[in-house]
Amino acid sequence: MDKFLIRGGKALRGTVKVSGAKNSALPAMAAALLTAEPVKLHNVPKVRDLITMSKLLAFIGARVSVTELPAGDYLIEARALNDAEAPYDLVKTMRASILTLGPLMARAGVARVSLPGGCAIGARPVDLHLSALEKMGAEIVTSHGYIEAKVHGNGSRGRRLKGAHIVFEKITVTGTENILMAAALAEGETILENAAREPEVTDLAEMLRKMGAQISGDGSSTLRIRGVEKLHGTEHSVIPDRIEAGTFLLAGAITGGDLTIANCVPEHLGAVVAKMEQTGVPMEIVDKTTIRVRRAKKLAASDMTTEEYPGFATDMQAQYMALATQAEGTSAITETICENRYLHASEMMRMGAHISVEGRRAVVRGPAALSGTTVQTSDLRASAGLVLAGLVASGETIIDRVYHIDRGYEGIVEKLRGVGANIERIHGPGPETKQSALTAAR
Ligand code: UD1
């Protein structure tokens, strides 16, 4: 398995370009199952999760071509679905495989999707996806580790889901996306309340509208979807990755550099930018796609609570913890979205950080002089937090099990090297895809 070797202490300078959003590309690929016509996607990042999604679509019967196309372009054609099944082997490595459930139910009237199961960062059930589909007329049983769903009535194939009034008990991003896709081809109107407002949901709604769907309210917590009988092919460019952009923002701040982050949407980074301002990091929104971050005279501690969009993203929590280790004073971090998402804290402590964790709260006392050592990663975003800690630590930091980071960050080593970081990938023996169900996270 590959590792990263980082020699910390280099301030990052220059311009780094953000790739397309993994969390937008995943539902966009799943949405291609809703039509028999070709769907062309642009700005798809080269990350492992999207390769997994391609394999899943191919298993289901879609033709996915990537190789002959320019980088970042995918052509997906799901003329006929030969198997409405998402098997365990693929689902276990990527929880977002659940995104095939809504489109399969809408298009085929049946679906068999492996239950995603636990992951390193918490239980993360899919009960809300299932109860919403049941309201839309799905009959669902879970047996032998699989969700087996069919549209109520005889001979489900070809039968349509029915529009319904759904109120999510809790905000769920992929749950909202699944219901958006299912409702797009359902009979009648669906109203979804307490829906996720993440930019990735809006991006999916925009793509579905281009395919002929009738959706309004995206970006707010109430979505209205009037089902249509058929959707057609489209061409769509996925939005820039706000988590990758935020990670680079914090990388610039933690190393005290002068970093310009290009190809991003500053508007999607409101909570991160506001938090950076509270810590004293100078930032400039250069234009609609560019932010510049510079060295803070003094990095001040600031409390942070993760929230659904437009709040501070849970996917940026580990990176913020790394920054908090360098800030003067005490920062209390409260994780409200995911249980058990502090696995990186103990690794940062091994590097010399002063952190205490109690339940969903972590208290970070800074500044601490971090020193490099070998650290283990537990999930995708924890890895990003540890990379940031390594960039500021003295000596050598070895980040083990980087397959986690490869799931969601395109060319992170090359991008960081391009702006002056001393980081390299050490290729190790063993299959890079080796990943247990227990560690498969987001
Ligand atoms: C998505 C993102 C992930 C991000 C997360 C929260 C993708 C592919 N992944 O994951 O990067 O960290 O949103 O912003 O877009 N929950 C339930 N029942 C359900 C569904 C969710 O209890 O049926 C709970 C989860 O356990 C979790 C919370 O709701 O505590 C939010 O989860 P959710 O928004 O569904 O996360 P994902 O969509 O899986």
Q: Tell how far the Cα of 133 is from the centroid of ligand 1, in angstroms.
A: 17
The pLDDT of residue 154: 52
| Nearest-angstrom CA–CA distance, 255 and 389 | 9
Which of 48, 174, 204 to mutate to test ligand 1, by most ligand atoms within 8 A of the CB atom? 174
Tell me the residue type at 317. Answer: Q
Q: Residue with the nearest Cα to atom 24 of ligand 1?
A: 124
Report the run of H or E that residue 424 belongs to, with start and end.
Answer: strand 422-426
Q: Residue with the nearest Cα to atom 21 of ligand 1?
A: 172
| Nearest-angstrom CA–CA distance, 254 and 111 | 46
The pLDDT of residue 155: 56
The pLDDT of residue 85: 87
Q: Tell how far the Cα of 345 is from the centroid of ligand 1, in angstroms.
A: 21
Give the position, in ligand 1's atom list, of the atom nearest the Cα of 123. Answer: 26
| Nearest-angstrom CA–CA distance, 205 and 214 | 9
| Over residues 392-396, mean pLDDT | 98
Residues 183-230 have pLDDT tens digits of 999 999 999 999 999 999 999 999 999 999 999 999 999 999 999 999
Q: Residue with the nearest Cα to atom 26 of ligand 1?
A: 124
Q: Which positions are catalytic?
A: 119
Tell me the residue type at 145. Answer: G
Q: Tell how far the Cα of 314 is from the centroid of ligand 1, in angstroms.
A: 10
Q: Residue with the nearest Cα to atom 17 of ligand 1?
A: 125
Give the position, in ligand 1's atom list, of the atom nearest the Cα of 95. Answer: 39
Q: Residue with the nearest Cα to atom 34 of ligand 1?
A: 172
Given a cut of 60, is residue 436 above it in pLDDT?
Answer: no
**Ligand 1 site, CB within 6 A:** 23, 26, 95-96, 122, 124-129, 170, 172-175, 200, 314-315, 337-338, 442
Structural tokens at position 214:
């009738």
Report the run of H or E that residue 403 belongs to, with start and end.
Answer: helix 403-406
The pLDDT of residue 121: 47
Q: Tell how far the Cα of 260 is from the centroid of ligand 1, in angstroms.
A: 30
Residues 23-69 have pLDDT tens digits of 999 999 999 999 999 999 999 999 999 999 999 999 998 888 876 67
Given a cut of 70, is residue 241 above it in pLDDT?
Answer: yes
Structural tokens at position 353:
């950080």
Residues 272-310 have pLDDT tens digits of 999 999 999 999 999 999 999 999 999 999 999 999 999
| Nearest-angstrom CA–CA distance, 325 and 354 | 7
DSSP labels, 104-137? HHHHHSEEEEE----BTTB----HHHHHHHHHTT
Choice between 196 and 95, residue whose per-residue pLDDT is larger: 196
Other C-beta atoms lying within 10 Å of the C-beta of residue 170: 10
Q: Residue with the nearest Cα to atom 4 of ligand 1?
A: 315
Which of 99, 115, 124, 307 to mutate to test ligand 1, by most ligand atoms within 8 A of the CB atom? 124
Given a cut of 80, is residue 415 above it in pLDDT?
Answer: yes
Tell me the residue type at 20. Answer: G
The pLDDT of residue 389: 98
The pLDDT of residue 232: 97
Given a cut of 50, is residue 116 above it in pLDDT?
Answer: yes
C-alpha dist (Å) from residue 221 to 126, 247, 284: 19, 27, 30
The pLDDT of residue 120: 52
| Over residues 345-358, mean pLDDT | 97
- The answer to whether 417 and 392 are in contact (CB under 8 A) is no
Q: Tell how far the Cα of 52 is from the centroid of ligand 1, in angstroms.
A: 19
Q: How many CA atoms lie within 13 A of 241 on its CB side?
A: 27
